[in-house]
Amino acid sequence: MAGIDARPPDVVRSEESQDSADIVVLGKIVGPHGLQGVVRVYPFADDPLAWSRLPQWWLGREGEAPESWRPTRLIKCDLRTEMLLAQLECVADRSAAEAAAGLLVGVPHQALPPTASNEYYWADLVGLAVVNTHGQSLGNVLGLIETPANAVLRVGDGQGGERLLPFVAAVVLDVELAQGRVRVAWELDW
């Protein structure tokens, strides 16, 4: 499992709307670039070019219900020094780009590009049960933390306790999305 890769961290879920039921947050608009309405987007994903080719993005604010997010056409997108420069249909000029600062960029889960073998979107891992090689439950995935070395699984035991497990092949033995679990080489008392 040396190729294990986990992608975007957040998902906004809605029980009411199937059109935008699961918005996966891909990045955040941090400000304008130039005078023509181009925005700088800080990507939360490790492969922003993969989703920069999507024809449409959804914009929303943290904490907003998914049905409040609005779609907009992505006109152009380039990667420059780990920041995306995006031209969006709804952002006409620098003033609009300044006003867009702080908006989150996302897409419905079903619009994401498919993952390769042993690649997972972070949103797909949140909530999965975590069990060790002895079949003992360590809890559920609460989220992931990006570090320079590797991603780290946040595993909560349901009683306020939390473990941090490196998301590397030596620890994460198998991700079984269909079964709703992650198998790990980790003991209960570690």
According to the per-residue pLDDT averaged within each range, which of 9-13, 158-162, 167-171 is highest?
Answer: 167-171
Structure tokens at 81: 């020094």
| pLDDT for the residue numbered 21 | 52
Paired with 74 in beta bridges are 88
Q: Characterize the bridge pairing of strands 70-80 and 56-60.
A: antiparallel
Structure tokens at 127: 């909530």
| pLDDT for the residue numbered 40 | 97
Q: Are domains 14-112 and 126-184 of this chain identical in fold? A: no
DSSP codes joined into one string, 54-77: -SEEEEE-TT--GGG-EEEEEEEE
Query: Domain 126-184 belongs to what architecture?
Result: Roll (2.30)
Flag whether pLDDT at 61 surpasses 70: yes
Flag whether pLDDT at 8 surpasses 60: no
pLDDT, tens digit, for every residue of 136-157? 999 999 998 888 899 899 999 9
Mean pLDDT along residues 20-46: 87
User: Which fold would CATH assign to domain 14-112?
Assistant: Elongation Factor Tu (Ef-tu); domain 3 (2.40.30)
Its pTM stands at: 0.67
pLDDT band, very low/low/confident/very high, at 46 (cuts 50, 70, 90): low
Check if the beta carbon of residue 61 is closer than 8 Å to that of residue 45: no
Nearest residue to 156 (alpha-carbon basis) of 174, 144, 173, 170: 144
